[in-house]
Amino acid sequence: MELTVRPAQLGDAQRIWEIRNEPASLAVAASQDMIPLAQHVAWFNNKYFEDKDNVCFVAEVNQNVVGYSRFDLSGDHYLNSIAVSSSMHGKGIGTLLLGQSVAQLKTDKPIHAEVRKYNLASVKIFERNGFQKISEDDKNIYYQLI
């Protein structure tokens, strides 16, 4: 299995929408609302192509998008959101996607992440990539990579 991580293109919007709306992704998402495709495409274009402060990468296996890693500028830091298609869970793709997307981002700004406590796969992904736990509450663990 050959994994490629590259900057997202506008044409990736539908596949990212599909991954984001998989039941496994929705179960750990900040918002569990289903978003109509047209609304998502407009948001994706505005967020990652009109606004140059935000960056999105995709992971491809055999030229098929299987995951995404978003970096949204929030004040003085980026907030990361990552998802991998449930059909590819357990193959190490999330760890590689996060590591390679951080390397391609090339920023000196801290990168933060909010991970549901029960989402042990994501906890491992962030910790394997050097993110440090900075706090937690009843629902989430908050990580930072400097």
pLDDT tens-digit profile of 48-67? 999 889 999 999 999 999 99
Domains of the chain: 3-145 (3.40.630.30)
The per-residue pLDDT for 135 is: 97
**Residues in contact with 69: Cβ distance below 8 Å, sequence separation at least 6, in sequence order:** 5, 56, 57, 58, 59, 80, 81, 82, 97, 98, 101
| Tens digits of residue pLDDT in 73-130 | 999 999 999 999 989 989 999 999 999 999 999 899 999 999 999 889 999 999 999 9
Q: What is the pLDDT confidence band of residue 29, given thresholds at 50, 70 and 90? A: low
Statement: the pTM of the whole predicted model exceeds 0.85: yes
Classify 127 as helix, strand or coil.
Answer: helix
Is residue 67 within 8 Å of 99, Cβ to Cβ? no
Q: Is-contact 142 113, C-beta < 8 A?
A: yes
Please tell me what DSSP assigns to residue 88: G
Backbone φ, ψ for residue 49 (5° rounding): -125, -35
